[in-house]
Amino acid sequence: MPVLRSCLRLLVLAALFTFAPSAQAEGLVQLSLHGELSEPGGAFVQVEVDVWSSETGVKRHDLHAHLARGTSAHDLACLIYTRLSDAGVKVHFPSQAIGEPLETHLFIEQTTAINVRLGFGLWCEVTTCEEAPQWIRLVEPQLAKGGAKLALTATTYHEHLKRPGRLKLEMPITTESNTASISQTLSKLASENGWVGERPSPDSWSPIRSDLGAAVIACNIHFDSRQSDWRLEVQLFVPGS
């Protein structure tokens, strides 16, 4: 059964990326959800997705909800998928019927920003599949104080050499961390690991290229905040801006 599940998922993903028109692929973001709510009495979660269309410009779709203990990553993904689909957003849920309860993935088209505050056993990854994030920001926890772990993995492309590359870094978030100190530390740590970026504001950081001149063209933001409800904010390119 696990082998069949994996094969079916690969077939769906192949269809998604093979047959989707290129215009639909702009702003493609993969939201990966992990774990389940473990807090007695449940907990409050926030998921916000900004989506662009030529008719309405940027529109925010948010899920701010108190969910029961035992709500899994897959349960939450089903709820997000239904809300976005009902609102007319182009969203793909390859593992809706065959996915594992504690790990699942949504692919959202035309995304211009995504903000997630989970914790209490739930955590996430955000992957900007076809572009570098404009900026990344972490905002302090509100209900569950504690640390977290941030890991970034980027795909780069050197235009002159016509060669892809890869950048990685890991950064622990402590209980003493705050939004501004995280941006400052992330900027320093990135430069030590071959990244070139900038701080568009005192509390955010933007990956741009490698120190060898290769542009960042996609990025995975692995944010393990299962023990605390830190907020992850990821801004992407807004057409016409």
pLDDT tens track for 80-122: 999 999 999 999 999 898 878 999 999 999 999 999 999 999 9
Q: What is the mean pLDDT of residues 46-60?
A: 95
Instruction: Please say whether the beta carbons of 61 and 51 come within 8 A.
Output: yes
Instruction: Please say whether the beta carbons of 37 and 68 come within 8 A.
Output: yes
CA distance 137 to 121: 21
**Which of 6-20, 24-38, 73-87, 151-165 bottoms out in mean pLDDT, i.e. has the lowest?**
6-20
pTM: 0.88
CA distance 91 to 116: 17
Is the pLDDT at 4 greater than 60? The verdict is no
Q: What is the reported pLDDT for 58?
A: 96
- 3-class secondary-structure state, position 137: strand
- Angstrom distances, CA of residue 227 to CA of 33, 73, 99: 15, 15, 24
pLDDT tens track for 135-159: 999 999 999 999 999 999 999 999 9
